Amino acid sequence: MAAEKSAPKGVRKVTVNLPEEQVQFLMKTAQENHLTVTEVLRRAINSERFFVEQEQSGRKILIESEDKRLREVVRR
């Protein structure tokens, strides 16, 4: 009887359902950056956390265009 492989301590395994387009994006991003899909997801979650924390602190998120104009990112 084979031992069941478990996640490292402090790490929880989760299952998600995603549209095929998002799965393909994850796989492509992982391959192009020599990362695992799990690492791409971790980075995406950390980015989302950053944006949420900034907004909760009353900060604005700005993007500078090539012509040096600033635009505010409005998230819904």
Determine, yes or no, domain membership for 55: yes
Q: How high is the pLDDT of residue 2?
A: 60
Sign for the pseudo-dihedral over CA of 24, 30, 31, 36: negative
Q: What is the pTM assigned to this prediction? A: 0.78
Instruction: Provide the residue range defining the domain that includes 24.
Output: 20-72
Averaged pLDDT, 49-73: 96
Q: How high is the pLDDT of residue 7?
A: 73
**Could you report the per-residue pLDDT of 9-47, keeping only the tens digit for each?**
889 999 999 999 999 999 999 999 999 999 999 999 999
Looking at the 3D structure of the chain, how many domains does it have?
A: 1
In our burial notation (b when 16+ CB lie closer than 10 A, e otherwise), range 7-31 reads: eeeeeeeeeeeeeeeeeeebeebbe
Determine, yes or no, domain membership for 8: no
Q: How high is the pLDDT of residue 75?
A: 84
Sign for the pseudo-dihedral over CA of 32, 75, 16, 23: negative
**Residue 63 phi/psi, 5° resolution?**
-125, 135
